[in-house]
Amino acid sequence: MNIAVSKPDLTIRLCGPRGFCAGVDRAIQIVVLALKSYGAPVYVRHEIVHNRYVVEGLEAKGAIFVEELDEIPAEHRAQPVVFSAHGVPKAVPADADARNLFYLDATCPLVSKVHKQAMRHNRLGRHVVLIGHAGHPEVIGTMGQLPEGTVSLIETVEDVDVYEPTDPDNLGYVTQTTLSVDDTAGVIARLQERFPNLTAPSADSICYATTNRQEVVKQAAPGCDLFIVVGAPNSSNSKRLVEVALRAGATKSVLVQRAAEIDWDDIGDIKTVGLSAGASAPEVIVNEIIEAFRARYNAVVELAETVKETENFLVNRELRNIELTTADMAFVNGE
């Protein structure tokens, strides 16, 4: 006789907003529309966004990812190459022009805004202090907007304490868009303490999506036995969400790319799970993780929502007359 085993009860606090921001959505749309308009292959320099699932989904449609433009074979030079959402140094489009490549720039408009802020500081004679993570593509792109030696990268409060600029009274700062709001506030406060004449950018550099995702995680995390953030290990904004959840009171917080990465043997006795997704993580994986919990628990999903995001960034002019259907984006958004 089969005896039904009752599943333990579980509450999943599903954060909203979560997942794709308008800049990521636009970048993926640009690749999809370029494939529809120009046919395969479409080349993409660097991961279009930091998510393996998204990259593999676009590869299946005919995108080819390269790290440098010299990897594009001569016979495909008429095909488009897309620059990633993180932005690129000025040398990259210059290289594309020199090679007679047709390129589509998918840089997030909010990253482009930071580039303009940095260039304005430079134009007005200020040395630029960039708060960000060394080696991140967005930081490489922002530093690459200006001549070498005109930008200093600061990562931590400790970096500020040992920073000795040539002209301490003539500094302007900008930040990477995907940083921890709280950590960055501490770095800025220390910069302002050491350099009272420091000039702020004309508008906050940390993007709305980063701020919104961190705020709702702060609200949802207290009382969570486990907090799961969907995202890639090289995704700055996703890693920050893990840190925010722990600081806000979650007992444990982990970053996973797929449901298969969840260590079910290590979860222990849980009653409440928080669930969010970084700005480059697709909704289909959020759904996959909810279903994985439902298979093991009597799970009830509660929405923890702070704001509704309505931002929408237009794709490149060359692609605006191409129809984008729900089916085109189902590989990341679900049906």
Listed in sequence order, the residues at least 6 apart from 186 whose beta carbon sits closer than 8 Å to its beta carbon are 157
Q: Could you tell me where the DSSP H helices lie in the chain?
A: 22-38, 52-61, 91-98, 109-123, 137-143, 157-162, 181-194, 208-220, 236-248, 283-294, 330-333
| 138: annotated active-site residue | yes
The owner of tokens 């200006």 is 146
State the virtual CA torsion across 121, 122, 128, 131 in degrees, nearest 10. Answer: 60
CA proximity to 178, closest of 241, 252, 254:
241
C-beta separation of 93 from 103 below 8 A: yes
Q: Which of 138, 155, 283, 302 is catalytic?
A: 138
Q: What is the DSSP letter of 224?
A: -
Distant-in-sequence, close-in-space partners of 219: CB < 8 Å, separation ≥ 6: 248, 304, 306
Please name which of 113, 216, 229, 234 lies closest in space to residue 174, comparing C-alpha atoms: 113
How many other C-beta atoms are found inside a 10 Å radius of the C-beta of residue 328? 18
Catalytic residues: 138
